[in-house]
Amino acid sequence: MAIAIPLDRVQQVLAIRIGTALAHSGVGTHAAERLRHYRVGDDLSALCEALRDGLFRDLYAILGPQMRVSMPDGRTRRFRMEEFPLLADELLAVLFESLGTTGMPKDTLMAFAMTSGSLCAMRTLMQFYPLSSAEKTLLERILRENAPQAATASPNQPLF
């Protein structure tokens, strides 16, 4: 059974970084489909990699090799390769939201956060899961050092 991933949430997360037009193109739809195919117990790192690669392919197909887009404020920007893993990580927040704490075991999420460095997973753990004081201190330090605004951000707040 597919997970209920709201397309509008995926588009909302994407629109912040890629603009509304691209988020509402096939890019958002494809990302939502990838998230819907996740099954509890599947490898979150593999999902993150599939999201990253899919985002790159979709944007490359639309924008071409220059990877430039006109943003709603009139400025033009070029996507950099280092943005794709961060964008994929932000999309995981939609999955974590949809699954809730009962659908995503704490141990699974903690292991993923610690092995992948997923800031979204760390924020989700901080906000929705009971943590020991040592776990909380560790996650706060990692979030503060890697993205100062992430320590207090909601899981769907952009990190860059």
Residues 32 and 61 placed together within one structural domain of the fold? yes
Give residue-wise pLDDT tens across range 98-135.
888 888 889 999 999 999 999 999 999 999 999 999 99
Q: Which residue in the block uniquely carries the two structure tokens 């699974």?
A: 108
Please state the domain count of the chain: 2
Give residue-wise pLDDT tens across range 4-34.
899 999 999 999 888 888 999 999 999 999 9
List the one residue out of 84, 86, 157 whose CA is nearest residue 126: 157
Residues 42 and 77 placed together within one structural domain of the fold? yes
- 69: confidence class by pLDDT, cuts 50, 70, 90: confident
Q: Which of 53, 73, 100 is where one domain is finished?
A: 100
- 49: confidence class by pLDDT, cuts 50, 70, 90: very high
Residues 90 and 119 placed together within one structural domain of the fold? no
Residues 14 and 75 placed together within one structural domain of the fold? yes
In the prediction, which pLDDT does 84 show? 94
Contact predicate 89/48, CB 8 Å: yes
Q: How many angstroms from the chain centroid is the CA of residue 120?
A: 7
| Least confident among 12-26, 57-71, 145-159 | 145-159
Average pLDDT of every residue of the chain: 88
Mean pLDDT, residues 37-63 taken together: 94
Q: Report if residue 41 sits inside a domain.
A: yes
Q: Report if residue 160 sits inside a domain.
A: no
In the prediction, which pLDDT does 73 show? 80
Helix 44-63 and helix 26-36: axis angle, to 10°?
170
State which residues form the domain around 65.
Answer: 1-100
Query: Assign residue 135 a region: left if phi > 0, alpha if psi is -120 to 50, beta otherwise?
Result: alpha
Q: Cα 83–36–109 angle (5° rounding)? A: 65
| pTM, 2 dp | 0.83
